[in-house]
Amino acid sequence: MQAQKGMSLIGLLLTGVILGAVFLLGMKTVPAINEFAAIKRVIQAVADNADPSKSTVPGLRRDFDTRASIDDITSVRGADLNITKRGGSVEISVAYARRIPVVANVSLLIDFEASSAGN
């Protein structure tokens, strides 16, 4: 006689609940991660196009705000940027936190940090 093989009903339900929770978290976090990638891309573009001898900090902030409005970036504004001029180049960095509501009063908090220096 052969023993039965396979997953029980309770095992199937638990697996479904776990996969559903992972899918829910993934669907909630993907927009925040895409926005972070856009922020990194815009910061790098602004820093690459900046002329250290002619660029001003308010001008770089305006340039970021213009590019951010095109890429639909809402978590960071030009006023949030840390802009420094080092060694003949402009370095732009930003650190921010994004709170993502998951279910009811449960939220996921993600800390992001981006820099044009490649960190």
Tens-binned pLDDT, residue by residue, of the chain (119 aa): 778 788 889 999 999 999 999 999 999 999 999 999 999 999 999 999 888 888 889 999 999 999 999 999 999 999 999 999 887 888 999 999 999 998 889 999 999 999 988 65
CA distance 84 to 28: 34
User: What's the pTM?
Assistant: 0.83
Q: For the chain, how are helix, strand and coil distributed in percent, rounded to 5?
A: 50, 25, 25
What is the predicted pLDDT for the residue at 119? 52
Please state the φ and ψ torsions of residue 78, each to the nearest 5 degrees: -60, -30
CA 52 centroid distance within chain: 27
